[in-house]
Amino acid sequence: MDEAPRPRTQLDAAHVSLFVAFLSLATSMYQGYLNTRSVAVFSSDATRRETMHGCREAVEYFMEARLRIQRLMDMPPATYTAKETADYTFEARRSVARFAAVATYLANFHEDLLRERYTAITRELDSLIDNASKGGALAGVDERFYALNEDCVASFR
User: Where are the chain's structural domains?
Assistant: 48-154
What tens digit of pLDDT does each residue of 40-79 get?
Answer: 888 888 888 888 898 899 999 999 999 999 999 888 877 8
pLDDT top residue among 139 and 125: 125
96: left (phi over 0), alpha (psi -120 to 50) or beta: alpha
At 141 the pLDDT is 92
What is the rounded distance in angstroms from the CA atom of residue 20 to the CA atom of residue 56?
A: 53
What tens digit of pLDDT does each residue of 24-49 get?
Answer: 999 999 999 999 999 988 888 888 88
Residue 8, pLDDT > 80, answer no
Q: What percent of the chain has pLDDT over 70?
A: 92
At 1 the pLDDT is 54
The string of DSSP letters for 43-86 reads: HHHHHHHHHHHHHHHHHHHHHHHHHHHHHHHH--TTTS-HHHHH
At 46 the pLDDT is 85
What is the rounded distance in angstroms from the CA atom of residue 62 to the CA atom of residue 144?
A: 12
Give the DSSP letter of residue 156: T
What is the rounded distance in angstroms from the CA atom of residue 127 to the CA atom of residue 34?
A: 53
Confidence of residue 14 (pLDDT cuts 50, 70, 90): confident
- Which pTM value belongs to this model? 0.73
Confidence of residue 13 (pLDDT cuts 50, 70, 90): confident
At 11 the pLDDT is 67
What is the rounded distance in angstroms from the CA atom of residue 123 to the CA atom of residue 129?
A: 10
pLDDT top residue among 84 and 109: 84
